[in-house]
Chain A
Amino acid sequence: MTDLKIRVLVAKPGLDGHDRGAKVIARALRDAGMEVIYTGLRQTPEMIVSAALQEDVQVIGLSILSGAHNAIVPRVMDLLHQNKMYDVLVLVGGIIPDQDIDSLKKCGVAAIFQPGTAMNDIVTFIRSNVKSAGVPAAFK
């Protein structure tokens, strides 16, 4: 039987240790029926992309609160492209100033969730934007 569960990698890059948001989101996505892999803290872009490749995920959620997003996110996107993982939906959550949103979207981030986003909005966004990756069209 085909596994219909959406597979998500929740990753915490950079030096920051504030993992409350990442953990709450991981659990919310799991409760919404998705398969969630949480990387733990201090993952480099290389570690994140290699985990995404190995786990064959359709979605990567990056949680960044420290202000390092402009250094980290473009590197993750580059590595995804190098590995031809064009179909992976990349989301960024955390403290992201408005002025950085455009440049992050330009490098390929599908959505940025700032403080106060409801967990449900994230679930809905993933369900309506995730690329097929083996999910029969009828179920989309």
Chain B
Amino acid sequence: MENKASKPQVAEPIADVFENRRPSEAEKKWAEKTLAPTLEKNPERPIGAPTGVNVNDLGHACFTTISGVPIRRLYTRADLPEDWSEEKYLAYPGQPPYTRGIHATGYRGKLYTMRQFSGFASPEETNRRYKYLLEHGGGGLSVAFDLPTLMGYDSDHAASEGEVGKCGVAIDSLQDMEILFSGIDLEKTTVSMTINSPASVLWAMYLVVAEKQGADWKKISGTIQNDILKEYIAQKEYIYPPAPSMRLVIDTFEFGSKFTPRFNTISISGYHIREAGSTALQELAFTLYDGVEYVEWARRRGLEVDEFGPRLSFFFNAHNDFFEEIAKYRAARKIWSRVMKDRFGAKNQRTWLMRFHTQTAGVSLPAQQPMNNIARVALQALAAVLGGTQSLHCDSYDEALALPTEEAARIALRTQQIIAYESGVTQTVDPLGGSYFLENLTLQMEKNAFDYFAKLDAMGGMVKAIERGYPQKEIAESAYQYQRAVEAGEKIIVGVNDFTIEEEPPQILYIDESVARQQSAKLKALRGQRSNDEVRRTLDALKKAAAQEPRGGTNGNISPVNTMPYLVDAVRAYATVGEICEALREIYGTYTETSIT
């Protein structure tokens, strides 16, 4: 309080109009003549309980984004830098720094891809759901794998008990992958796969399925998530320690830039960082800095940034705070183009531009009054579209309860279609560009992200920061602060801490243990039919390559010990995900984090 008193004070309650900004004469006049009497008569009231983050020490209402960033009542020219101009700060769509988007025509030439994330139970059942989504106008596929697959265990492994087919589809071998995509033309359909630690194994399976269909590797396109750094930071589905994990990622970069020029070999993901409880800024900063770390490692291998750079793609969350999210996407493009150009000296424009996928925030969708989530998802998705996303997944309203029912999945897809075809927002490029509020938020995001970059640089990069638990601690702290504000009623969640009702439980998709039995039976049959000698031979070759330090290839070839060709061989011999990951565990060991609470 003493500090407050000693500060130079302008007559309350309009002091905030003059604090750290220079309002124009007209704005000053407005504040004195119009705003002050209004505040006198009708003081502002916080949204939510008048405690904690919602009041300052003078007792005035405070307003913040969901991430806790203070928000002004009104934004004017005085909230932009003095030298602000369209040319200097925004440029035009399709031009660096891409604040206004990567395409000169926005969505007019190419709409965002409606890519619904889906996978459950057996490959047979998921294949049916994929066909259903494609028939209903879905533009691409996105595979959710179950936990045993994500952790590199077969369905019949002891650690898989109770987990098979629950959070995604169970894939054990090439055979399952063939079933998953049967009747789906991989040269025509783009497929994204949420797979990380065993990403190269599942990608090898995908490539072999494509090849068996007669598809040309040079023509197929899609994305593997393959972002191991955010696993250590947030999602926690890692197998091996950071260094060998990074090596496997760089192997895919090298292999991909030579053999699958249209495939995104990574989707650097903020989604999970946000779901783990980070703020919008932390999501942005940690994700982009993960990008920096991958580029550093690839360059150390001897890869040229302009060769693999254009295949780096990103993945963000779309949370509740509408303008903060839009600012995040715009700042992300701007920061990435600067990083690629200035920090890494990229020459190719394709390397400068950031392409990203967005998914609405699963964590924001409560189990209470779940139908309300349809409205939440629509707003979140709208923010992603106004932010210029290249592809989009809308969550289903039953997200907090179970995997989506067919009806819930269809409504989610319809939400995308309503935004694209009815709302009109796709007709104009970056329609909110130039908004004082949005441009101010975008600049703040950019500046504060670079502050995080400086801290991470000082720690010696992201792998070092992860080892000391820095991003993990930052996220856990934000998650706790948010939960505290919600429970104090300072942040309102409709149907959860306000406007509650008694209700009947909705219909959900229930997955029983029969999938585990089916998958185990298939594995047993497979091990009896395939050539186990061939499996052993290919796994031995893989282990030998994996144990050697790769160097950049020569004469246009990839490194002779790049693991990808060995994985392709092992997969062709029908070695299972569990067997391949076990072979790599023998070489690399496993990772356990020091848990921080």
Residues of A at the B interface (CB closer than 8 Å) are 10, 14-20, 23-24, 26-28, 30, 36, 38-41, 66-72, 95, 97-99, 114-116, 118-120
Q: State the main secondary structure of chain B at its contact with A.
A: loop
- Pair B479/A97 contact, Cβ less than 8 Å: no
Given the interface pairs A67-B511, A68-B162, the reply to whether A40 lies near B147 with Cβ below 8 Å is no
CA distance A116 to B159 in the complex (A): 29
The reply to whether B162 and A72 form a contact with Cβ atoms under 8 Å apart is: yes
Beta-carbon contact of B592 and A40 below 8 Å: yes
B569 close to A (CB within 8 Å)? no
Contacts of B235 in A (CB 8 A): 17-18
B148 touches A15 (CB 8 A): yes
Set of chain A residues within 8 Å of B594, measured between Cβ atoms? 40
Chain A residues with Cβ below 8 Å from B153 are: 15
Min CB gap A36→B, angstroms: 7
Asked if A68 contacts B163 (CB within 8 A), the reply is yes
Tell me if B236 and A41 are in contact (CB < 8 A).
yes
Quote the shortest CB–CB distance from A55 to chain B (angstroms).
14
Question: In the bound complex, do residue B236 and residue A19 qualify as a contact, i.e. CB atoms below 8 Å apart?
Answer: yes
Residues on A with beta carbons closer than 8 Å to the beta carbon of B277:
20, 24
Question: Scoring B residues 252 to 287 as 1 if CB is less than 8 Å from chain A, else 0, what string do you get?
Answer: 000000000000000000000001110000000000
Best-surrounded residue of A20, A38, A70 (most CB of chain B within 10 A): A20
**In the complex, A90→B567 CA distance in Å?**
44
Looking at the complex, which one of A36, A71, A72, A115 makes contact with B597 (CB distance below 8 Å)?
A36
Contact A97 B510 (CB under 8 A): yes
- Expressed in whole angstroms, the Cα–Cα distance for A38 and B476 within the complex equals 14
- B167 proximal to A (CB < 8 A): yes
Can you name 28 A-B residue pairings with CB atoms under 8 Å? A14-B147, A15-B148, A15-B159, A15-B163, A17-B235, A17-B237, A18-B235, A18-B276, A19-B276, A24-B479, A28-B483, A40-B594, A66-B167, A67-B162, A67-B167, A67-B511, A68-B162, A68-B163, A70-B162, A70-B513, A71-B163, A72-B162, A97-B402, A115-B400, A116-B366, A116-B368, A118-B487, A119-B487
Q: Which residue of B lies closest to A27 (CB)?
A: B480
Interface residues on B, range: 35 or more
Q: Does B163 lie within 8 Å of A40, measured CB to CB?
A: no
**B400–A38 contact, CB under 8 A?**
no
Complex-state Cα separation, A119 to B497, whole angstroms? 12
Given contacts A68-B166, A97-B402, A115-B367, contact A23 B161 (CB under 8 A): no
Q: Which A residues touch B402, using CB under 8 A?
A: 95, 97
In the A-B complex, the 7 residue pairs with the closest CB atoms: A71-B162, A17-B236, A40-B595, A67-B166, A68-B162, A15-B147, A115-B367
Residues of B within 8 A of A72 (CB): 162
Q: Which residues of A contact B505 (CB under 8 A)?
A: 98
Which A residues are in CB contact (< 8 Å) with B511? 67
> Which residues from A are CB-within-8-Å of B161?
68, 71
Evaluate contact between A20 and B147: CB separation under 8 angstroms. Answer: no
Contact B597 A66 (CB under 8 A): no
Verify B162–A14 contact, CB threshold 8 A: yes
Chain A neighbourhood of B366, CB < 8 A = 115-116
B401 within 8 A of A: yes
* Bound Cα distance A68, B160 (Å): 9
Task: Give the distance to chain B from A126, nearest Cβ to Cβ, in Å.
Answer: 16
Task: Give chain A nearest CB distance to B269 CB in angstroms.
Answer: 14
